[in-house]
């Protein structure tokens, strides 16, 4: 574990760290906010997964989450969205390759050697953080924006019992039926669409749901609504009678102005589950 920076932040510490990843076969960077309470012992943790083109920095700098996490004594983890560096495959399109890992384990060339973001976020990074920082592994929650909202929902439903709560901002809700999904799944996972559905929040919601509370916020003026397909997830939640809330926010778009407006609600939502 290599420390890149540590800054005092709302009486806690906002750090940025790097480590060698076996899952992605390259160095990975992540942000970690530890509240003041971490000085006295392990604290609950909220994972924040970012969207297309983002690094660990986007949410760490733009979401304004640290102030509200500090109020509730919760740590925040900001992973990167993909492997990076020399020798890591990339693509000229912004929505494929570096910055667009989609939180899956790639099986196809040229992506398979490095693009194993499911293993990285689900197993390797949590283990590395548990070993190095005062985090309570029994009290975890997860959220994310756009591609990260897709990742948060699929990781939460794909690992029953791990997360006490899950939320998402404008998630890619039905990727197997969207160009934000079909393109990436085809490249990373191949043409067998049966391998795609375990990474589709709408399918997972229909088939199994989440064993806790769910909160979804979607901007009604989001410029990417046709790609996100929020109606599919909302219908799946209703059909399953999933405990939770799906909110369409009038006038809001896909930007971090939207995320920062509703991040207090999401952190309070997770705090209730994490401190229960």
Cis omega before residue 275 (within 30°)? no
Rounded distance between C-alpha atoms, residue 197 and residue 242, angstroms: 19
Query: Is 93 part of the annotated catalytic residue set?
Result: no
Residue 187 tokens read as 């490249």
Quick one: CA dihedral 104, 212, 65, 174, positive or negative? positive
Catalytic residue among 56, 150, 203, 254: 254
Question: Nearest-CA neighbor of 171 among 196, 150, 202?
Answer: 150
Catalytic residue among 82, 146, 165, 167: 146
Catalytic residue among 114, 222, 266, 270: 222
DSSP alpha helix (H) spans, the chain: 57-62, 65-72, 117-119, 125-132, 147-158, 179-189, 201-207, 225-228, 230-240, 256-274
Q: How many CB atoms lie within 10 A of CB 3?
A: 9
Query: Is 21 part of the annotated catalytic residue set?
Result: no
Cα dist from 68 to 95, 237, 267, whole Å: 31, 28, 7
Query: Is 50 part of the annotated catalytic residue set?
Result: no
Rounded distance between C-alpha atoms, residue 198 and residue 195, angstroms: 7
Residue 144 tokens read as 């994310």
- Determine contact, residues 51/153, Cβ cutoff 8 Å: no
Strand duo 26-34 + 43-49: pairing: unpaired
Rounded distance between C-alpha atoms, residue 176 and residue 202, angstroms: 9
Query: Annotated active-site positions, please?
Result: 146, 222, 254
């Amino acid at each position: 574990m290599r420390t890149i920076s540590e800054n005092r932040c709302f009486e806690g510490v906002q750090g940025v760290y790097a480590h060698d990843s076996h899952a992605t076969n390259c160095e990975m960077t992540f942000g970690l906010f530890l509240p003041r309470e971490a000085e006295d012992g392990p604290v609950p943790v909220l994972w924040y997964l970012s969207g297309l083109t983002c690094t660990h920095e986007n949410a760490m700098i733009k979401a304004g989450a640290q102030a509200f996490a500090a109020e509730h004594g919760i740590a925040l983890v900001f992973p990167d969205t993909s492997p990076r560096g020399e020798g890591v495959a990339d693509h000229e399109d912004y929505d494929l390759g570096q910055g667009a890992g989609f939180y899956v384990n790639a099986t196809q060339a040229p992506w398979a050697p490095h693009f194993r973001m499911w293993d990285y976020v689900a197993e390797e990074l949590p283990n590395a953080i548990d070993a190095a920082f005062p985090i309570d592994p029994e009290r975890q929650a997860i959220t994310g924006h756009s591609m990260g909202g897709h990742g948060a929902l699929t990781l939460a439903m794909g690992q029953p019992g791990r997360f006490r709560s899950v939320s998402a901002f404008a998630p890619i809700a039905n990727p197997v039926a969207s160009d934000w999904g079909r393109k990436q799944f085809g490249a990373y996972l191949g043409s067998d669409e049966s391998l795609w559905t375990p990474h589709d929040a709408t399918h997972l919601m229909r088939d199994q749901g989440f064993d806790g509370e769910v909160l979804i916020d979607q901007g009604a003026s989001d410029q990417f609504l046709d790609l996100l397909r929020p109606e599919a997830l909302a219908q799946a939640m209703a059909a399953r009678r999933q405990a939770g809330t799906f909110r369409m926010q009038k006038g809001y778009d896909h930007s971090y102005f939207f995320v920062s407006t509703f991040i207090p609600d999401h952190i309070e939502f997770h705090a209730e589950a994490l401190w229960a």
